[in-house]
């Protein structure tokens, strides 16, 4: 590499919280990592006594900081030592050498002694594993949904090429989702149901909104912000039942409003959820996409569809999901039978 070659921006991103944000950029050369450096810029929102900050961090600076924090300062701060990050290639080799390593870690009798940060790391690994499985299954389910009847017949025979346990895992996943759909229906038709029960199902099973939202995470600061700034629903004289989630990696926001029994879905409800959307856009101006959903028990005569939000009754949602997953189940069961008969 020529030393006089000008450095370029290798990566840039922004992290934001309620009172400010941090922007960073990696500057340097792809083939000379020891020469690269990171530019940090910290900005504060609103009226504050704090001034914006900006500094550069080079590799040698980072090494010295780690030594200082993990050495002389550790007794004073009480912080845990920084954890080394295992690169993807090393992790891949480790799992290839010992495929049962994760099971061994989870089965270790000392696992309950792990620190909170270690448990958070395990959570991230679990999400990643689920993500990989869900991505593969979702691709198959997507192909099923797009297929013609002739293609479906061919597809059921192609399942024979999968290992039996993979087909069984997919069948089990579809079966579990059908059970959740049944549970939602039982709660909806029960006149004595509690609104909290419906909220709990959507809070814990966001895939009900669509396969795009199979993996989402809670956004506690956003939820607290909405709870503080939302006005009472004029129809119920209570705070609207809102669930706010974030889609990892894309950072898209998902808003779900669940209408109470007796409140009919109407045109003005679209305006309400778009008000919540505007509130979030002011709070998180860098958010690219905000997906809005409104569900209720029945429709008013003023009900209308919208391109800005998904609005439908619980019964419509349940019917659509059941038809979709019953079709998946039927094809997968054919594939399982083919595998057994061989």
From 52-56, 86-90, 153-157, the region with the lowest mean pLDDT: 153-157
CA terminus-to-terminus distance, the chain: 58
pLDDT, one tens digit per residue, over 102-155 is 666 666 666 666 666 566 566 556 555 555 555 555 555 665 556 555 555 555
Residue 318 corresponds to which tokens in the numbers above? 């349940």
Contacts of 111 (CB under 8 A, 6+ apart): 105
Using CA atoms, how far residue 303 sits from 265, 273, 316, in Å, is 6, 14, 14
Q: When comparing pLDDT for 287 and 211, which is higher? A: 287
pLDDT over 50 (residue 337): no
Neighbouring C-beta atoms of residue 336, cutoff 10 Å? 18
Residue 118's pLDDT is: 63
Neighbouring C-beta atoms of residue 296, cutoff 10 Å? 23
In contact, 26 and 38? CB cutoff 8 Å: yes
85-89, 107-111, 231-235 — most confident range: 231-235
- Percentage of residues in the chain with pLDDT exceeding 90? 8
Residues 101 and 269: their CA atoms lie apart, in Å, by: 51
Using CA atoms, how far residue 274 sits from 192, 256, 268, 321, in Å, is 31, 11, 10, 25
Residues 232 and 251: their CA atoms lie apart, in Å, by: 28
DSSP 8-state symbol, 48: -
pLDDT over 50 (residue 341): no
Q: When comparing pLDDT for 260 and 87, which is higher? A: 260
How many CA atoms lie less than 13 Å away from 50 in the CB half-sphere?
11
Residue 290 corresponds to which tokens in the numbers above? 């905000």
Residues 330 and 336: their CA atoms lie apart, in Å, by: 10
Q: When comparing pLDDT for 321 and 104, which is higher? A: 321
Q: Where are the alpha helices (DSSP H) in 194-233?
A: 195-204, 220-229
**pTM above threshold 0.75:** no
Give Cα 265 to chain centroid, integer Å. Answer: 28
Residues 226 and 282: their CA atoms lie apart, in Å, by: 12
């Amino acid at each position: 590499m020529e030393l006089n070659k000008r450095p370029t921006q290798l990566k840039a991103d922004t992290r934001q919280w309620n009172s400010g944000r941090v922007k960073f950029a990696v500057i340097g050369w792809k083939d000379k990592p020891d020469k690269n450096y990171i530019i940090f810029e910290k900005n504060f929102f609103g009226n504050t006594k704090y001034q914006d900050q900006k500094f550069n961090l080079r590799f040698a600076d980072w090494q010295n900081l780690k030594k200082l924090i993990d050495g002389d300062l550790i007794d004073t701060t009480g912080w845990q030592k920084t954890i080394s990050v295992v690169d993807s290639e090393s992790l891949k080799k480790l799992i290839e050498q010992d495929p049962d390593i994760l099971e061994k870690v989870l089965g270790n009798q000392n696992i309950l002694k792990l620190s909170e940060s270690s448990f958070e790391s395990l959570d991230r690994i679990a999400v990643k594993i689920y993500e990989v499985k869900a991505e593969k299954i979702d691709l198959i389910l997507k192909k099923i949904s797009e297929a013609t009847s002739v293609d479906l017949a061919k597809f059921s025979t192609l399942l024979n090429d999968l290992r039996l346990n993979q087909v069984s895992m997919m069948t089990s996943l579809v079966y579990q989702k059908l059970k959740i759909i049944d549970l939602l229906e039982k709660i909806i038709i029960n006149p004595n149901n509690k609104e909290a029960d419906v909220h709990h199902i959507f809070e814990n099973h966001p895939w009900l909104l669509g396969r795009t939202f199979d993996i989402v995470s809670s956004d506690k600061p956003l939820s607290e912000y909405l709870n503080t700034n939302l006005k009472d629903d004029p129809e119920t004289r209570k705070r609207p039942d809102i669930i706010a989630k974030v889609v990892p990696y894309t950072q898209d926001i998902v808003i779900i409003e669940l209408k109470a029994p007796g409140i009919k879905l109407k045109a003005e409800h679209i305006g309400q959820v778009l008000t919540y959307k505007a509130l979030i856009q002011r709070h998180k101006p860098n958010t690219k996409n905000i997906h809005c959903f409104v569900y209720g028990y029945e429709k008013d005569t003023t009900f209308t569809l919208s391109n800005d939000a998904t609005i439908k009754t619980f019964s419509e949602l349940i019917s659509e999901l059941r038809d979709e997953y019953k079709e998946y189940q039927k094809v997968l069961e054919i594939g399982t039978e083919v595998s057994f008969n061989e």
